[in-house]
Amino acid sequence: MSAAATSAPAAQPAGMPRLDAESYFADLAKGLPGFLEADERFLCSYAAERSDFVRFNHARIRQAGHVDQAYLTLRLIDEGVEGRRQAGLSLTLSGDLDSDLAHCRRALASLRATVPDLPPDPLLTVETEGFTSRNVRVGRLPSGIDMAAAVTELGVGHDLVGFLATGPVQRGFASSYDHHNWHEVANFNFEWSLYYEADKATKSSYAGFDWDPAVLRAKIIRGANDLAVLRLPPKRIEPGAYRVYLSPSAVAELVSMMGWGGFSAKSRATRTNPLQKLYDRQASLSPMVSISEQTAGGLMPIVQSEGFRRPDRVDLIERGQAVGLLASPRTAREYGVVQNGAEVGEEEPQSLDMAAGTVDNDHTLRELGTGLCINNLWYLNFSDRMNCRLTGMTRFATFWVENGEAVAPAGVMRFDDSIYRILGDKLTGLTATREFIPDSSTYGARRTASKRLPGAFIDDFRLTL
């Protein structure tokens, strides 16, 4: 068991110059061993960002801001003769090294007072063979101001509503076991809608590491073309089974539900895994479906919070068959499996990669033929967890397509169907080009989770109302 607390923020001194975050973290980590007593060890995780945020309405800047913040999570481990105990807390950093080291010394003293009241942790597992790593991916990003200017220019004539987040995200890890790991990646994520009227709008996104106004222009034009279809008389869709095309964004919602325990070694061991039948070889998916956790090329660091290195790749599903699970060190000790760097309590893909197919992305409607083009899904939940059956709603632009041409908008509909059908025997194709979709949450801080996914063609997709 561990104790957790959040300390009061430390103020940023006025006029302080921007830090070299990597050097600052190195100096901070070097100072921590001097605050330890006998049998004590520390782990520390550093999380920082320098982000530009811009909100748009009517294709104009309505709110712009900058966030420069850094946090340190400290864990104190007592390796005394009565069993290993641990406690942890998070604190806000000011950027002044002397002040922050004093803040850390007080934090460790507080943890030292807490640890004796906690029971030994029999499942505590820490990587004691430290290593050094450095991963810096800068990309080609203009300033947030230049990005915002491009959006306003390309959005002229449209009621564009959106949110842009861009800039570097930094992670560091150090410990008493000779870890020193640095991870820095600069990326952007722009999500927007083109609004028509009432509940009619299209939703699009553009994310990555290298900003290209030409790609943004093409996406806005595509959204404007979809908006033109929304102006046509709607077609009523009766409940039933339909051939559909699911965009990468829609596929992301389905795969996120699969990741809600579906790839967890602990959930399989406790028989609560929604993909239990897949891992028990009682069911399979289409041979077109291959899913892996790929740390390399994503946003997340290669080191998790106990100091264990994440492999570059963990295969989870290969050609429709379950081949692997995500196991944290704690799960490995509790259930006798091999850990592979998954985070404790979060055995979910953080850098999910789904293999592409062969369908040209410019010919998706032609491949669909006649049916529904579904660009977005939301409000998903399990209707039958142990059979991986999902229910949810369509959202934003959904079109009725005839002979490869979008001819009418369709209203909001509910689906209820099983992953074993959607990505199983009813899956007929995947697109050749995939979409990079980062976690867009910015509550508290930007995230380092992401997905890379193709679009999917499904026969007999079940709509219930």
Tens digits of per-residue pLDDT, 369-423? 999 999 999 999 999 999 999 999 998 889 999 999 999 999 899 999 999 999 9
Q: Which amino acid is at 319?
A: R
CA distance 168 to 155: 26
Contact indicator for 442, 236 with CB cutoff of 8 Å: no
Q: Mean pLDDT of all residues in the chain? A: 92
pLDDT value for 334: 95
Whether 248 and 282 map to the same domain: the answer is: yes
Q: What is the pLDDT of residue 10?
A: 34
Does residue 216 lie within any of the structural domains?
Answer: yes
331-352 exposure pattern, b = at least 16 Cβ within 10 A, e = fewer? bbebeebebbbbbbeebbbbbb
Q: What are the φ and ψ backbone dihedral angles of 343, each rounded to 5 degrees?
A: -75, 140
Task: Give residue 2's pLDDT band: very low, low, confident or very high (50, 70, 90).
Answer: very low
| pLDDT at res. 153 | 95
240 located within any domain: yes
The span from the CA of 433 to the CA of 449, in Å, is: 20
- Residue 294 lies inside a defined structural domain of this protein: yes
97-114 vs 21-31: helix crossing angle, rounded to 10: 40
In a shared domain, residues 264 and 308: yes
Q: Are 70 and 20 in contact (CB under 8 A)?
A: no
Mean pLDDT of 191-219: 94
Q: Are residues 142 and 174 in the same domain?
A: yes
Picking from 201, 225, 249, the residue at the C-terminal end of a domain is 225
Cβ–Cβ < 8 Å for 42, 175: yes
- Give the CA radius of gyration of the chain: 24
Question: CA 211 to CA 199: how far, in whole Å?
Answer: 30
If pLDDT is split at 50, 70 and 90, which confidence band does 81 have?
low
Q: If you write DSSP's letter for every residue of 127-168 in order, what string do you get?
A: --S--EEEEEE--B---HHHHHHHHHHHTTTS-EEEEEEEEE
User: Does residue 77 sit within a domain?
Assistant: yes
Nearest-5° angle of CA 213, CA 356, CA 221?
Answer: 30
Looking at the fold, whether 53 and 194 belong to one and the same domain comes out as yes
Per DSSP, helices labelled H in 192-328 are: 213-230, 248-258, 265-269, 276-279
Which secondary-structure segment (H or E) carries 367?
helix 364-368
Give the strand pairing for 240-246 and 371-384. Answer: parallel
Nearest to 413 by CA among 242, 172, 194: 242
- Tokens 């850390």 appear where? 104
Question: Rounded mean pLDDT of 53-82?
Answer: 93
Within this chain, do residues 133 and 242 fall inside the same structural domain, yes or no?
no
Q: How far apart are CA 296 and CA 313, in angstroms?
A: 7
Same domain, yes or no, for 282 and 352?
yes
Helix (H) or strand (E) holding 112: helix 97-114
For residue 20, the tally of other CB atoms under 10 A from its CB is 10
Claim to verify: residue 198 and residue 255 sit in the same structural domain: no
Residue 455 in 3-state DSSP? coil
- For residue 3, is it within any domain? no
From 199, 225, 251, the end of a domain falls on: 225
List b or e across 174-208, with b for residues whose CB sees 16 or more CB atoms inside 10 angstroms: bbbbebbbbbbbbbbbbbbbbbbeeeebbbbbbbb
**Band of the pLDDT at 285, cuts 50, 70, 90?**
very high
CATH number for the domain including 96? 3.30.2290.10
Asked if residue 9 belongs to a domain, the reply is: no
Cα(360)–Cα(366) distance, integer angstroms: 10
Report if residue 104 sits inside a domain. yes
Which residue among 168, 194, 225 closes a domain?
225
- Give the residues across from 242 on adjacent strands: 461
Number of neighbours of residue 306 by Cβ within 10 angstroms:
20
Percent residues over pLDDT 90 in the chain? 89
Instruction: Calculate helix-pair angle for 144-154, 213-230, nearest 10 degrees.
Output: 40
170 & 276 share domain: no
Q: What is the pLDDT of residue 276?
A: 97
**How many helices (H) does the chain have, and how many strands (E)?**
10, 20
17: confidence class by pLDDT, cuts 50, 70, 90:
very low
Distance CA 439, CA 364 (A): 25
- Residues 215 and 239 both lie in one domain: no
Domain span at residue 403 reads 232-463
Helix (H, G, I), strand (E, B) or coil at 232: coil
How many domains would you assign to the chain? 2
Same domain, 175 and 255: no
Length of the chain, in residues: 465
Asked if 268 contacts 325 with a C-beta cutoff of 8 angstroms, the reply is yes
Q: Are residues 218 and 246 in the same domain?
A: no
Per-residue confidence (pLDDT) for residue 7, from 0 to 100: 33
**CA-CA distance, 234 to 384, in Å (whole number)?**
32
State pLDDT tens for residues 310-347.
999 999 999 999 999 999 999 999 999 999 999 988 89
**219 and 315 part of one domain:** no
Using the 8-state DSSP alphabet, how is residue 424 labeled? I
- 15 pLDDT higher than 90: no
With respect to residue 330, please indicate whether it lies within any of the assigned structural domains. Answer: yes
Confidence of residue 16 (pLDDT cuts 50, 70, 90): very low
Render pLDDT for 121-162 as a digit per residue (tens, 0 to 9).
Answer: 999 999 999 999 999 998 889 999 999 999 999 999 999 999
Predicted local distance difference test score (pLDDT) of residue 19: 64
CA atoms in the 13 A half-sphere facing the CB of 284: 11
Q: For residue 255, what are its two tokens?
A: 């795969």
Q: What percent of the chain has pLDDT over 70?
A: 96
Which tens digit of pLDDT belongs to each residue from 267-280? Answer: 999 999 999 999 99
